[in-house]
Structure 1
Amino acid sequence: MYAPAEFTHRRNIDQIKTTDSLILALLIWQAKTGIESQRRFCECFNCLSHSRFNRRSRQLLQLIYQIRQEMNKKVDLSGQFLIIDSFPVPVCQPVRNYRVRIFRGSANIGYKATKKIYYYGFKVHAIVSDDGYVLDYVVTKASVHDARETVELMENTHPSNYYLLGDEGYLGKELHQQLKQMGYELWTPYRKNMTGAKKHNDHQLMAIRRTIESDFSLLTYYNAENNRARSLIGFQSRLEIAILAYNLAYCLERFN
């Protein structure tokens, strides 16, 4: 349905014993069951070796992305607030931050405020509806500030929603002005020591904004934060599957 002709009619497609749809279903099942190790997951089945399953799953990356984009068009988020935030994706234990070799040049060291530790890896910046649908995301190095990716995310997504909620990390007149020129209104709580904080900090809006933390906790269940890939394409593939599986669960819960 969503696959381009060059993909569905690729060379030797008629000789493939395990269909693309089955591979996709297995990937979603792996994310749903929370099994981090793809090798251990493959041991449960005789249809594919781990190396072949890994290779086939990476070939589906563009298709997975396209399915997610088509889902975005069908989900009605009108009238909802959009929430923007980020979550860390460490690729090693903190003790190895300065010795690790994977993703050199693509990842770096950032700070995980919730656990007050430094980690080596990436940061995922995401836009989520106030009832939990992940609209879009972008991956950066761990040290990139949250506010830097906001404009790019909104440009790529073009949501019809006009109100965006963020935390104190998105404070700043320049960002607010840029978004206003694009037609979006960004609300962020003031820090307690800022002038007018008590009047500005609407508790209802703050409660809505905090719902994204629950959404990120659910994404952790789908291994969005525990990405064990050792290549960039593998990393992207596993993250796409985690978000697709999460959004499918959202749709099944809301529309059944």
Structure 2
Amino acid sequence: MREQTITIYCFIDDFFHATGRKDDAHCKITDAELLTTALLSARFFYGNLHSAYGYMQAHHGVRHIDKSGFVRRLHRLQPQLLALFTALGRVIKELNCSCVYLIDSFPVPVCDNIPIPCCHLLESEAYRGKCVSKRRYFYGFRVQVVTTSDGVPVQFYIHAGSFADITAFKAMELDLPQDSQLYADAAYTCYEVEDLLAECEQIEFRCCRKSNSRRKDEPHRAFLKEHYRKRIETSFSGITGFFPKKIHAVTAQGFILKLILFIFAYTLTQVIE
């Protein structure tokens, strides 16, 4: 744990130095220390910021700061957190020689159907979604994740739970190298998007075909699609394995911030280990 903490801190601190970001002289802890603590909370403490901060104080000499001040600064650093993930994803894509990527989504419920009227975190029917694989409805978000063939996330997109996968995919700003192959399940079937990616981005979008599809797959291609598609489910299990029984948040923005931390922490774990 100590080695991972030092590695995460060095990565964040080097990124801030490279981008010219400087800490406020009046702050008790640096931005790198704060983001390191937040990522450790997602990786080792099920998102509990207080426990992670206690560990950093006891083992790494981080100075004391009140909880509300810590949370406010963490919210202000969300753009830097996303920039860090983008930079890490870019490096992973450069090292991915196979140019094979996978995309799928997983639901993150704020609550189940019955307590929806009592939920004050979200207040819109747009968040009421359906998880087909589990045959149940949920109220919350859905996360689109793009990973390498080894299951390392390089990009994600968080949206309301009611949006279909292909609808969210159209809204997502896909950032993959040319000549990449992107594997997806049948929920992403859209011939226009498939042709557009091939023509404009030189990306081969390989969706699993439905039984009534106009573009049938040869057996070997269908086997490859099924083979690659299943790998991403392992990544989802790894990400949700960091979740507590219930993700604690006071606002929807805080809930999304914790989701970003869980995905980022899983990606760092895959890279470091």
Structure 1 window deviating more from structure 2 (144-153 vs 219-228): it is 219-228
In 2: Cα distance, 1:224 partner to 1:168 partner: 31
Does 2:72 correspond to 1:55?
yes
Equivalent pair of 1:42/1:49 in contact (CA under 8 Å): no
Equivalent pair of 2:47/2:258 in contact (CA under 8 Å): no
Give ranges in structure 1 of 5+ residues lacking alignment.
Answer: none
Does 2:161 correspond to 1:148?
no
Q: For residues 61-113 of structure 1, give each alpha carbon's deviation from its aligned partner in whole angstroms, at most 9, with x where no partner exists.
A: 12211111211232212323111111111112332124423222495100012
Question: Residue 171 of structure 1 aligns with which residue?
Answer: 189
Question: Residue 6 of structure 2 aligns with which residue?
Answer: none
Structure 1 window deviating more from structure 2 (183-192 vs 130-139): it is 183-192
Question: Residue 39 of structure 2 aligns with which residue?
Answer: 28
Question: Residue 2 of structure 1 aligns with which residue?
Answer: 15
Q: Report the identity percentage.
A: 23
Letter paired with 1:176:
E
Does 2:85 correspond to 1:68?
yes
Aligned residues: 248
In 1: Cα distance, 2:99 partner to 2:162 partner: 30
Does 2:27 correspond to 1:16?
yes
Q: For residues 131-150 of structure 1, give each alpha carbon's deviation from its aligned partner in whole angstroms, at most 9, with x where no partner exists.
A: 11211111111010101232
Structure 1 window deviating more from structure 2 (115-124 vs 14-23): it is 14-23
Q: Specify the SS of the correspondent of 1:104.
A: coil
Question: Residue 202 of structure 1 aligns with which residue?
Answer: 222
Question: Residue 159 of structure 1 aligns with which residue?
Answer: 177
Q: Specify the SS of the correspondent of 1:95.
A: coil
Q: CA deviation at 1:240?
A: 2.2
Structure 1 window deviating more from structure 2 (162-171 vs 222-231): it is 222-231
**Structure 2 CA distance for partners of 1:48 and 1:116, relative to 1, 3 Å:** farther
TM-score by length of 2: 0.79
Give ranges in structure 2 of 5+ residues lacking alignment.
Answer: 1-13, 58-63
Does 2:223 correspond to 1:214?
no
Equivalent pair of 2:129/2:162 in contact (CA under 8 Å): yes
Structure 1 window deviating more from structure 2 (32-41 vs 57-66): it is 32-41
In 1: Cα distance, 2:54 partner to 2:45 partner: 15
Letter paired with 1:142:
G
**Structure 2 CA distance for partners of 1:175 and 1:98, relative to 1, 3 Å:** farther
Letter paired with 1:28:
L
In 1: Cα distance, 2:107 partner to 2:225 partner: 24
- 1:52-201 equivalent positions in 2, closer than 5 A: 52-75=69-92, 76-105=95-124, 108-153=127-172, 155-182=173-200, 183-192=202-211, 196=216, 199=219
**Structure 2 CA distance for partners of 1:249 and 1:79, relative to 1, 3 Å:** same
Equivalent pair of 1:162/1:185 in contact (CA under 8 Å): yes
- Select the structure with the greater relative contact order (CA < 8 A; seq sep ≥ 6): 1
Q: CA deviation at 1:180?
A: 2.3
In 2: Cα distance, 1:56 partner to 1:162 partner: 38
Letter paired with 2:86:
Q
Letter paired with 1:33:
F
**Structure 2 CA distance for partners of 1:16 and 1:231, relative to 1, 3 Å:** same
**Structure 2 CA distance for partners of 1:211 and 1:2, relative to 1, 3 Å:** same
**Structure 2 CA distance for partners of 1:246 and 1:224, relative to 1, 3 Å:** farther
Equivalent pair of 2:112/2:138 in contact (CA under 8 Å): yes
Q: Specify the SS of the correspondent of 1:102.
A: coil
Q: For residues 193-243 of structure 1, give each alpha carbon's deviation from its aligned partner in whole angstroms, at most 9, with x where no partner exists.
A: 668567376223311111000001101123399543232432332222222
In 1: Cα distance, 2:91 partner to 2:217 partner: 38
Equivalent pair of 1:130/1:208 in contact (CA under 8 Å): yes
RMSD: 2.8
**Structure 2 CA distance for partners of 1:126 and 1:161, relative to 1, 3 Å:** farther
In 2: Cα distance, 1:213 partner to 1:30 partner: 23
